Amino acid sequence: MAMRLYSVAVYLFLYVPIGIIVLFSFNSGRHASSFEGLSVKWYGKALSNPFVLEALTTSLIIALSAALLSSLMGTAAALALQRIRGPLRAMFDGLIYVAIMIPGIVIGIATLIALVTVFDLLNPVLGALWPADAAPPKLSLGYASVIAAHTLFTMSLVIVLIRARIAGMDRALIEASEDLYASPWRTFLQITLPQLFPAILAGFLLSFTFSFDDFIISFFVAGPNTTLPIYVFSSIRRGITPEVNAIGTMVLGASLTLLIIAQVLLRRREGR
């Protein structure tokens, strides 16, 4: 009984703060201290703020690209990794481990200074190689650097998820397919891929959520771009506005929906 009460308390601790943000996003008053009445005006304010919309678009483009790249490359790598053994395999395992374990802030600063240094070296070369009558392209931090940095983490995550799925996969089906003279490609398309698909989709959704919610890596490598978390961070730094509650509620709502779908997809494999 005591345990049950304790657990209820922990769940309250986890969800009440989120609930408060949601509740106050519908507060018509300016201040957190008093609830003055229901209103959706802060949602209207947030969604008509061009800075919010621009940050949202940036975040969506980045998250979608990172999720697509991660699920494609992660799946490919997971499939390839089960075919290799020995030191090469150990090296990849090590890299995946490091990519997941290293703090985001270290990835952020390392990527920042490495890319800025490389760009400073490459830009004069590009300038020299480019025909004189056209302005040479200038490499700089922006969408691509954020997508690349997020993909490092999310791709590693997808590899781990897919490998877990491969390990739990029914080999008998693949063997049966081979015995029936299906080509390896056909076996892959008709047997392996459908079995992997829930894990790939879950990996896509988790990657999207991670990228969409990430603040610290983007903070370092986004260059002049503002993602939604960067926008929220700077609004909070300037002082709390009720608009942030509305944005926060929308962000939480979106991630919760995606996460629940991902969880269902990942759990389904275990149920079987």
Partner 1 sequence: MTGESTKGRWLTVALLTPTSAWFLVMLVMPLVVVAIFSFGERSAVGGYTASFTFDQYANLPSRFTAFRNTLTYAPFGTLVSLLVAYPLAYFLAVKVSPKWRLLLLVLVIVPFWTSLLIRTYAWIFILGGRGIPTLLDYIGFEGVRLINTPFAVVVGIIYGYLPLMVFPIFVSLERLDKRLLEASNDLGGTPFRTFLQVTLPLSMPGVATGCMLVFILLMGEFLIPAFLGGGKVFFIGNALVDLFLQSRNWPFGSAVAVTLVIIMLITVSLYMRLTMGRAADRNESIM
Chain residues 89-108 in contact with partner 1, contact rule CB under 8 A = 92, 95, 98-99, 101-107
| Binding-site member from 38, 53, 114, 126 for partner 1 (CB under 8 A) | 114
Q: What is the number of residues in the chain?
A: 272
Q: Choose the binding region for partner 1 from 36-44, 60-68, 132-140, 153-161 (rule: CB under 8 A).
A: 153-161
Record the tokens describing residue 21, joined without a space: 């943000």
Q: Choose the binding region for partner 1 from 60-68, 130-138, 192-200, 258-266 (rule: CB under 8 A).
A: 258-266
Q: How far is CA 148 from CA 58, 87, 143, in A?
A: 14, 26, 9
When asked if residue 186 is in the footprint of partner 1 (CB under 8 A), the reply is no
When asked if residue 183 is in the footprint of partner 1 (CB under 8 A), the reply is no
Q: How far is CA 78 from CA 37, 74, 138, in A?
A: 52, 6, 35
When asked if residue 4 is in the footprint of partner 1 (CB under 8 A), the reply is yes
For residue 38, the cross-strand partners are 27
84/126 with CB nearer partner 1: 84
Least CB distance to partner 1 at residue 181 (A): 16
Q: Choose the binding region for partner 1 from 25-33, 37-45, 130-138, 195-203 (rule: CB under 8 A).
A: 25-33
When asked if residue 216 is in the footprint of partner 1 (CB under 8 A), the reply is yes
Characterise 169 by phi-psi region: left (phi > 0), alpha (psi -120 to 50), beta (else): beta
Q: How many beta carbons lie within 10 A of that of residue 139, not counting itself?
A: 17
Binding mask of the shown chain, residues 222 to 251, with x at each position contacting partner 1 by CB under 8 A? -------x--xx--x---x---xx--x--x
CB 204 within 8 A of CB 198: no
When asked if residue 198 is in the footprint of partner 1 (CB under 8 A), the reply is no
DSSP letters, 213-240, are: H--HHHHHH-TT---HHHHHHHHHHH--
When asked if residue 215 is in the footprint of partner 1 (CB under 8 A), the reply is yes
| Binding-site member from 47, 64, 76, 182 for partner 1 (CB under 8 A) | 76
Q: How far is CA 168 from CA 69, 80, 99, 186, 217, in A?
A: 24, 17, 24, 21, 33
Q: Choose the binding region for partner 1 from 121-129, 132-140, 195-203, 253-261 (rule: CB under 8 A).
A: 253-261
When asked if residue 152 is in the footprint of partner 1 (CB under 8 A), the reply is yes
When asked if residue 174 is in the footprint of partner 1 (CB under 8 A), the reply is no
| Binding-site member from 26, 42, 204, 210 for partner 1 (CB under 8 A) | 210
Residues 140-177 as b or e (16 or more Cβ within 10 Å = b): ebeeebbbebbbbbbbbbbbbbbbebbeebeeeebeeb
| Residues 32-51 contacting partner 1, CB under 8 A | 32-33
